[in-house]
Amino acid sequence: FFSFKMPRFSARWIAVVVLIFVVSGVFFFCEYLIYFPTILKCAWPKISHVRGGEGIDGRPMDSTLRAMVLSDTHLLGAVGGHWFDKLRREWQMERAFQTALWLLRPEIVFILGDIFDEGKWSSQKDWEDDVRRFHRMFRHTTDTELVVLVGNHDIGFHYEMDWFKLQRFEKVFNATSTRIVTKKGVNFLLVNSVALHGDGCPICQSVERELIKLSRDLNCSLQHYPLYRVSDAGCTGQDAAPPEERHLLFREKYDVLSKEASQRLLQWFKPRLILSGHTHSGCEVLHDNKYPEISVPSFNWRNRNNPSFILVTMTPLYALSKCFLPEESTVIAVYCSAGACLLFLFLAHCLWMKGLLQCFSLCLLGKHKSL
């Protein structure tokens, strides 16, 4: 026969255990779990008029392409990037991307430029560090193809761009300024829109010559700069630019492509769909009443409170849906609420312990007087 005493836990130890449990639970939810219920709300859009096991053009449904499109990740560099800002936002993008890959399983992912925030002036050492972090954050299996486009922050605006920075980017990401990516019969034209200023610069001339060679009817065009539009005044939706910014006029060759370059692209390729980034906000524009363009918002909390990405289901036709990520304000609110609750529990614990001490002191005082 064995007997033993159950250990007695003091109120202090119970408080410590509760504190650890609450802090770890809140941290795990905000930094990991929150991405799952948010992205689970997203679904691949369905193309209408599909009958039986065939697509609208008679194709089997397994030939349907699922593409994920995001933009403007802006990985912070060594010069202007604060270490905590870098840590916080890069962790957010990594968890969002990895969760989306695991839940949605896209066959191809496009990132529409401005991969880095300081690629236009970073040293070779800093560039290699930024590239290493990008490959860690956006790692993927062989089942998913990752296609990266160049943006103005990667190689500089038109007047900052040179062959060294362009070729450095192209070598790392196996990219060229103008190319066609074909997946399951769907053609994507990828354009270095930074080089479409039409001023006869050597890189511009090279890109335009390649575009003329590729000029034919394609399914989809992807680029960093949006085609020319006056402003975001006609843009709506929860990820559109703030109301006070929508009527600000865009500058050609800086905020959007020039009128001339935009018209040339439309005339050369007559794209069925145009996807662009750069503005950090969402917008839908119909050019010449027949060429739809979707501006994809930034994927980074640093650029907007509610990042998102686009899901595209494609045969020769296409359907799109938008997937929003957790809002940074929501995560901050959860942390603040948890902090307030912990403070309340701490104060309640202190008052309770103070009450016990007072009772104990009164009891001792009473016994002393009775003696």
How much is the pLDDT for 310?
Answer: 96
**For the chain, what is the radius of gyration of the CA atoms?**
28
Q: How many domains does the chain have?
A: 1
Report, as ranges of residue numbers, the positions in the chain whose pLDDT lies below 50. Answer: 4, 6, 50-59, 369, 371
In a domain, 52, yes or no: no
- Is 1 part of any domain? no
In a domain, 39, yes or no: no
- Looking at residue 200, its pLDDT comes to 64
Q: What is the pTM of this model?
A: 0.84
Q: Which long-range contacts (CB under 8 A, 24 or more apart) does 170-178 make?
A: 172/131, 173/115, 173/148, 175/147, 175/148, 175/149, 175/150, 176/210, 177/150, 177/203, 177/206, 177/207, 177/210, 178/207, 178/210, 178/211, 178/214
pLDDT of residue 141: 92
Residue 336 amino acid letter? C
Is the separation of the CB atoms in 74 and 92 below 8 Å?
Answer: no
DSSP per-residue string spanning 88-141 = HHHHHHHHHHHHHHHHH--SEEEE-S--BSSTTT--HHHHHHHHHHHHHHT---
Asked if the structure places residue 334 within a domain, the reply is no
Assess if residue 320 is contained within a domain.
yes
Q: Does the residue 256 lie in any domain?
A: yes
Q: What is the pLDDT of residue 40?
A: 95
Q: What are phi and psi of 353, to 5 degrees?
A: -65, -35
Find out whether 324 and 306 touch, Cβ atoms under 8 Å: yes
CATH of the domain at 102: 3.60.21.10
Whole domain around residue 295: which residue ranges? Answer: 63-326
| DSSP labels, 162-196 | -HHHHHHHHHHHT--SEEEEEETTEEEEEE-GGG-
| CA distance linking residue 279 with residue 285, whole number of Å | 13
190 assigned to some structural domain: yes
Q: What is the pLDDT of residue 104?
A: 96
- Report the candidate in 160, 150, 84, 158 with the shortest Cα–Cα distance to residue 116: 150
Question: What ranges make up the beta strands (E) of the chain?
Answer: 65-70, 108-111, 145-148, 178-183, 186-191, 220-223, 274-276, 283-287, 291-295, 308-314, 318-324
**CA distances from residue 72 to 15, 201, 219, 265, 277 in whole angstroms, order as listed:** 44, 25, 23, 22, 7
* In a domain? residue 241: yes
